[in-house]
Structure 1
Amino acid sequence: MAAKTGFAKYIIVITTVSAAIMELLDTTIVNVALNQMAGSLSSTIEDVAWVITSYAIANVIIIPMTGFLGEYFGRKTYYLTSMVLFGVASYFCGASEGLWELVFWRFIQGIGGGALLSTSQAILFDAFDPKDRGVASGLFGMGIVLGPTLGPALGGYILEHYTWSQIFYVNIPICVIATILTIIYIERKEGEGERKSEIQIDYIGIALLVIGIGALQFVLEKGESEDWFQSRMIVTLSIVAAIGILGFIWQETHTEHPVVNLGVFKYKIFAFSTIFTLIAGVGLFTSSFVYPVLVQRVNGFTPYEAGLSLVAPTLAAVILFPIIGKRMAAGAPPIPFMVAGILFFVFFGFYSGTATPDMGRWDFFPMQLCRTVGISLLQLPLINQAVAGLKPKEYPAGIALSNMIRQLGGAFGIALANNFATNRAAQHRSDLMANMSTDNPLFNERLANMTRNMAGLTGDTFNAATMAYKQMEAGVVRQAYYLAYLDTFRLIAVFFVCLLPFVYLLKTKKLTAEEVAEMAKATAESH
């Protein structure tokens, strides 16, 4: 398909980037609505969390198969079908009257959404000449950052003015417009979807992928709430995940027509880059998870305020994406960008570890700016390095696997943050409670003052001391979680400090302009 010019080119940019933002926005917009959903659907928060888990499982299953499905059905047909599927599922999510009905439609929405994210970039790249595809990558990168960032802010605004159903209904007009624009402006590639009869489907590989990766994602998403390996279900699904993944690896390395080409792991650069991607995913997703929890639980932000506080630093840093993309398209080496991105994350982690409970929204701006600058500097170079040692025909498989591993790294990072923060909070609470002793004169003085204040406020002198003690205990718990979240930010910094020395393992020869263009095109086609 020839590169587009003028109006058609901008329409394709708007369509594909909007589709990617919409899919990524739906990964975070639901997070702020769990309490309202639980009340409306007469369910517990633990059960409603399945609304998030089902979407994540569907995403991580479908992403590595998008290259195969696009080739089998034809990219435009697959893209349109996924768009319609996402829109229809969004409607039924909003119309759901029961929890498990909603969970089912969220899973369907995740299947359509995974394809939108993976295919949009390929279509976007085809609209640009090879020499400009670095800019296209930068534009798409902006969408990747904006989607998850806008989710909590938009979700919080909708909840303040409407109901949780509107969170899903907002997708429908975007899907309708994007579908119409896709039909009119996005062309089919030559021979697209005409090789269906020649392609053999690896049903066993697909089944093992669904079982293994689906079970692993479930364990990572639900492990903390189920008390990890104290739960028979988590133990069982961990075994299922291990068997499924090992079986999938064996199947894909012994069949002539694998659904995912695992042969790319024979290349040293790719193998090291996937480890790098996994660890980077842990840091990236953990940092975006901990901050909203901290400011809502400790600083008293509403969900809308927490989301809004992320928008300004993201918009300030997101302009770096097209700049980095243009520099890399001109042949600039990726390693310096990656090193700078890691250093920004190290600084972000330790800087965030100095936050205080009385900080306002704008007080968090400098540290969140460090985080988004780190994302901007790290993400695009890492995507390029993931395929730097591969042959052009192997790029699609390499990038699909990298995307899946990044998603799994994110799930692992959130699970790690949950577990680490919970354990650290318990330790800090124990340490702080040790000071709440009658042998401590400061404690006795504080308790006496609070008892008098409580008696004055309530008029209940008999229970004033008990109420004052409970109030102090609640303050201790809040302080314990505050310290635990700061520890988690520092843990993020430690992850990136440990990652930094291994950057040299990803060093490759300098690419020519033609090789950069070919890599950019193949990177897009893998999505």
Structure 2
Amino acid sequence: MLQQNSLVEYGSRRVIITITAVFCAVLEIIDTTIVNVALNNMKGSLGATLSEVSWVITAYSIANVIIVPMTSWLSQQFGRRNYFAASVIIFTVASFMCGNSTSISELIIFRFIQGLGGGALLVTSQTIITESYPPEKRAMAQAIYVLGVIIGPTLGPPLGGYIVDHFSWPYIFYINIPVGIVAALLALQYVRSPKYAEKRPASEVDWLGIFLLTAAVGALQYILEKGQEDDWFSSNLIIVLTVVAGLGLYCFIWREMTYQYPIVELRVLKDGNLRMGVILSFVQGFGLFGSTFIIPLYTQTILGWDATQSGMLMIPSTLMVAFMMPIIGQMIQRGVPHKYLIAVGMIIFFVYSLLTYKIITPQTGAENFFWVLMIRGVGLGLLSVPISTMALSTLKGVEIGQGAAFSGMMRQLGGSFGVALITTYLSRDIIGHRSNIANHLDMYDPDVQNRIHGIAAGMQAKGMAPNVALKSAYTLMDGTVSVQATVLSYMDIFLYVGCMFLICVPFVLIFIKRSKAKVSMADAAH
């Protein structure tokens, strides 16, 4: 536990701490998406298969999800300043080693280590920023932090695309090094730790809890990352890991509820607002990472854009989130109930999903996305800060740090579930739509025949032999069917994700209670 002491900062010191923490959070999140566009280059450079190189993403995600729930306990063991600075150093050194990797095995190992350092940065940055502000300005502090969380996934693909196009893939890791060095020095100089009680001896450390958490969450994250690739339960490994995840989670909960010094304090989930906040963090992660995943996928596979163009498309949405942050922070400080802001944000996100459902075609242009993505920015702005502050609004002291760790983990898991479900649904729904279109496409229909012969005639006019031209026309028609089936599947995904947000609205209005007191995070412990 910790003693009472104020960690509020003022003037230039607070500015430096805020910038340091935000940059660390942004770096961590950027690294979850920046490698996506470099996988092909890594594959060729390291002589790896696509399945092997995809572990570069999986290893980082698994490490992230494992370390986040333990941040509160680790901070108490080592002191928040020391833990934060050590996490920055681990992240930075691992980034250098990732760039210097000469084999895919080395790269995967160092990415896992980088994920262990990076996962700690995300939640600890949130507490450091929040505690540096007085109670009346803490909604604004949350807005600053959440802006970094929103910007990260958006900046990753275009930044990664630019680096790969103009330099080489190791530089997507090397760019972390100068920022990491400066952040570590500033953290050691400026970040302060709460005054904790004497740390527990090694004999009282919940080693079994750490093992069970690692096994359960690691297995679950692997299932989500690799399930579709391994065809889910047709794979013996997926079946075994499902059993490990289920039993590990059950045993972990039993251990934490009965052990005197648990690694994760599950009793904090008795708070109704935190339970609701954890669920909403999951939904928010599903929508944020799911839409950040699906839009670039659509623009690259259907519209033929490159990674940089796809990433740049998301910039207006990010700018709108930045514009919304101070407004939302002011509204919360003036007493507007969290539940109304969250409910409106979910309705707006549903509107964004519905509009996207209506505009996507095989020929949709960037101009069609502009206002739709601006609406997305408004919706995310109304969701992000209110969910973060509401989840912690009725907690006190050390409980706040534990609650923030739960929210962070569930946001990450929500994103993993979102990407896994979207990937699985796409691969299966496309087959269904393709079959349905083909059933309605009668090759003996005069209109269809005229269309095919018209395409063949155009190819013959360019010098192609008649038999080759006719075969090419049929191939082109088949490709058109595949594109239409894929677009219909994308449309389904946007509609279903929007409906998920809409369904949550009444639960938000019914179950979120208004806190009678200001959120005090001065005693939070990560």
Alignment deviations for residues 67-107 of structure 1 (CA, whole Å, 9 cap, x no partner):
10011011111111110100111111111121121111111
Aligned length: 520
Q: How does 1:482-521 map to 2 (within 5 A)?
A: 482-511=487-516, 515-518=517-520, 520-521=521-522
Shift of 1:2: 4.3
Give yes or no for the alignment of 1:110 onto 2:112.
Answer: no
Deviations 1:459-481 (A, max 9, x none): 33332222221122122212211
The offset of 1:320, in angstroms, is 1.5
Quote the residue 1:228 is aligned against: 232
Corresponding residue number in structure 2 for 1:168 = 173
Say whether 1:79 aligns with 2:57.
no
Paired residues for 1:25-40 under 5 Å: 25-40=30-45
Asked if the contact 2:346–2:379 (Cα under 8 Å) also holds between the matched residues in 1, the reply is yes
CA distance in 2, matches of 1:275, 1:154: 31
1:480 to 472, 477, 485: 485
1:370 is matched with 375
> Are the aligned partners of 2:393 and 2:518 in contact in 1 as well (CA < 8 Å)?
no
Match of 2:353 in 1: 349
The C-alpha deviation readout for 1:376-422, integer Å capped at 9, x for no partner, is 11122112222344444422222212221221121111111111122
d(CA) in 2 for partners of 1:266, 1:154: 42
- The whole-number CA distance in structure 2 between the counterparts of 1:389 and 1:5 is 26
The answer to whether residue 474 in structure 2 is matched with residue 469 in structure 1 is yes
1:356 shift after superposition:
2.4
Instruction: Give 1:299's aligned residue.
Output: 303
Instruction: Identify unmatched segments of 5+ residues in structure 2.
Output: 1-5
Q: 2:487 corresponds to which letter in structure 1?
A: Y
Q: Report if aligned partners of 1:137, 1:322 keep a CA contact under 8 Å in 2.
A: no
* Partner residue in 2 for 1:449: 454
Determine the C-alpha separation between the residues in 2 that align with 1:55 and 1:193.
Answer: 33
Return 424-433 or 383-392, whichever deviates more.
383-392
Q: Measure the CA separation in 2 of the matches of 1:162 and 1:460.
A: 44
- Check 1:145–1:277 CA distance in 2 against 1; reply closer, same or farther (3 A cut): closer
In structure 2, relative to structure 1, the CA distance for the partners of 1:95 and 1:457 (3 Å cut) is farther
Alignment of 1:217 onto 2:225: no
Partner of 2:438: 433
Alignment of 1:142-153 (within 5 A): 142-153=147-158
- Paired AA for residue 481 in structure 2: V
1:331 aligns with 2:335: yes
Q: Are the structure 2 counterparts of residues 140 and 274 from structure 1 closer, same or farther at C-alpha, using a change threshold of 3 Å?
A: closer
Alignment correspondent of 1:16: 21
Distance 2:301 2:267 in 1: 46
Q: Which moved more, 1:269-278 or 1:228-237?
A: 269-278
Deviation per residue, 1:121-180 (Å, 9 max, x gap)? 222223222222221111111111111111111111112211111111111111011112
The CA distance in 2 between the partners of 1:245 and 1:302, in whole Å, is 41
Cα deviation, 1:500-524, whole Å, max 9, x if unaligned, reads 121123332442xxx3241x445xx
Report the AA paired with residue 301 of structure 1: W
1:349-371 CA-partner distances (Å, limit 9, x unpaired):
11000122222223211111121
Letter of the aligned partner of 1:410 in structure 2?
G
The more displaced of 382-391 and 53-62 is 382-391
Q: Is the 8 A contact 1:3 1:126 kept in 2?
A: yes
Question: Pairwise CA RMSD of aligned residues?
Answer: 1.9
- Aligned partner of 1:409 among 414, 421, 426: 414
What is the CA-CA distance between 1:223 and the residue it aligns to?
Answer: 0.6
State the match for 1:285 in structure 2. Answer: 289
Change (3 A) 1:172 1:393: closer
Matches within 5 A, 1:139-218: 139-189=144-194, 191=195, 195-197=199-201, 200-218=204-222
| Amino acid corresponding to residue 319 of structure 1 in structure 2 | F
The letter for the 2-side match of 1:72 is Q
Contact 2:25/2:148 (8 A) holds in 1: yes
Segment of structure 1 superposing worse, 377-386 or 90-99 = 377-386
Whole-Å Cα distance in 2 between the matches of residues 13 and 421 of structure 1?
40
Per the TM alignment, residue 119 of structure 1 is displaced from its structure 2 partner at its CA by 1.1
Q: Which amino acid aligns with 2:288?
A: L
What SS is found at the alignment partner of 1:30? helix
Structure 1 CA distance, aligned partners of 2:159 and 2:49? 24
Larger displacement relative to structure 2 (393-402 or 18-27): 393-402
Distance 1:498 1:210 in 2: 33
Amino acid at match of 1:124: I
- Residue 138 (str. 1) matches residue 143 (str. 2): yes
| Structure 2: distance between partners of 1:166 and 1:389 | 44
| Secondary structure of 1:318's aligned partner | helix
| Bigger Cα displacement from structure 2, 70-79 vs 267-276 | 267-276
CA distance in 1, matches of 2:245, 2:135: 41
Among 235, 260, 264, which residue is 2:264 paired with? 260
Q: Which runs of 4+ in 1 moved over 6 A?
A: none
Say if 2:251 is the partner of 1:247: yes
Aligned to 2:128: 123
Q: How far apart, in 1, do the equivalents of 2:117 and 2:197 lie? A: 19
Counterpart-to-counterpart distance in 2, 1:167 and 1:206 = 32
Inter-CA distance 471–193: structure 2 relative to 1 (3 Å threshold):
farther
Alpha-carbon distance in structure 2 between the residues aligned to 1:248 and 1:256:
14
More divergent stretch after superposition (426-435 vs 86-95): 426-435
Asked whether the equivalents of residues 29 and 155 of structure 1 are also in contact (C-alpha less than 8 Å), the reply is yes
How many angstroms does 1:436 deviate by? 4.3
**Structure 1 residues 458 and 61 mapped into 2: Cα distance closer, same or farther (>3 Å)?**
farther
Q: Provide Cα deviations, 1:235-281, integer angstroms capped at 9, x if missing partner.
A: 11101100111110010011000000111233344334433333333
1:443 deviates by: 1.6
Deviation at 1:209, TM superposition (A): 0.0
Quote the Cα distance in structure 1 between the aligned partners of 2:202 and 2:232: 45
Structure 2 equivalent of residue 460 of structure 1 = 465
TM-score of the superposition, structure 2-length normalised?
0.94
* Kept in 2: contact 1:25–1:150 (CA 8 A): yes
| Cα 1:278/1:188, change in 2 over 3 Å | closer
* Counterpart-to-counterpart distance in 1, 2:188 and 2:266: 34
Give the superposition deviation at 1:451: 1.7
Q: Which moved more, 1:192-201 or 1:326-335?
A: 192-201
8 Å contact from structure 2 (residues 153, 289) kept in 1: no
2:196 & 2:162 partners in 1: Cα distance?
Answer: 42
Quote how far apart the aligned CAs of 1:197 are. 4.2
Aligned match of 2:3: none
Supply the AA of the counterpart residue of 1:321.
Answer: M
Aligned mates of 1:87, 1:225 — CA distance in 2: 31
Matched residues in 1 for 2:90 and 2:515: separation? 42
> Separation in 2 of the partners of 1:370 and 1:12?
32
